[in-house]
Amino acid sequence: MVLGTSSGAGKSLMTAALCRVLLRRGDCPLPFKGQNMSLNAWVDGDGGEMAYSQAMQAWAAGLEPCCAMNPVLLKPQGDSTSEVILNGRPAGIARAETYYQDWFRPGWQAIRRGLAQLEHGHPTGRLVLEGAGSPVEMNLQPRDLTNLRLAQFLRARCLLVADIERGGVFAQIVGTLSLLRPVERPLIRGILINRFRGRRELFDNGRRWLEERTGVPVLGVMPWLNDLFPPEDSLDLLERRRHKPEADLEIAVLRLPSLSNFSDLDPLEAEPWVRLRWVRPGEPLGQPDAVLLPGSKRTLADLAQLRQAGLDRALQRFAAAGGAVFGLCGGLQMLGVELDDPEGSDGDGADRQPGLGLLPLRTRFTADKLCRQRRCRPLWPPGAAGDLAGFELHRGRSEVLADGVEPLADGEGLGWVKGEVAGTYLHGVFDDGPWRRSWLNRLRQRRGLAPLPLTVLGHHVQREGVLDRLADAFAAHVRWQDLLTDGGDAGSWNNG
Domain ranges of the chain: 2-224, 234-447
Q: Whole-model pTM?
A: 0.93
Residue 329 known to be catalytic: yes
Residue 242 DSSP SS3: coil
**Structural fold of domain 2-224:** Rossmann fold (3.40.50)
Give me the catalytic one of 329, 376, 394, 477: 329
pLDDT of residue 233: 43
Sequence-ordered list of residues with C-beta below 8 angstroms from that of 49, at least 6 positions apart, any chain: 41, 42, 43, 67, 73, 85, 88, 89, 90, 371, 393
pLDDT of residue 362: 97
pLDDT of residue 379: 96
CA distance 175 to 331: 44
pLDDT tens-digit readout, 207-242:
999 999 999 999 999 998 864 455 444 334 334 555
Cα→Cα distances 460→227, 341, 350, Å: 15, 36, 40
The CATH number of domain 234-447 is 3.40.50.880: yes
Of 300, 305, 323, the closest CA to residue 254 belongs to 305
Task: Give 489 or 358, the one with higher predicted confidence.
Answer: 358
Mean pLDDT over each residue of the chain, to the nearest integer? 92
Can 2-224 and 234-447 be said to share one CATH topology? yes
* Confidence at 384, pLDDT banded by 50, 70, 90: confident
Give me the catalytic one of 371, 376, 427, 459: 427
β-partners of residue 391 are: 373, 427
Name the DSSP class of 287: -
Task: Give 242 or 445, the one with higher predicted confidence.
Answer: 445
State yes or no: pLDDT of 450 exceeds 70. yes
- CB-facing half-sphere around the CA of 24: CA atoms within 13 A: 17
CA distance 210 to 343: 56
* Confidence at 243, pLDDT banded by 50, 70, 90: low
pLDDT of residue 240: 52
State yes or no: pLDDT of 116 exceeds 70. yes
State yes or no: pLDDT of 315 exceeds 90. yes
State percent of the chain over pLDDT 90. Answer: 82
pLDDT of residue 213: 97
Looking at residues 353-376, what average pLDDT do you find? 96
State yes or no: pLDDT of 493 exceeds 70. no
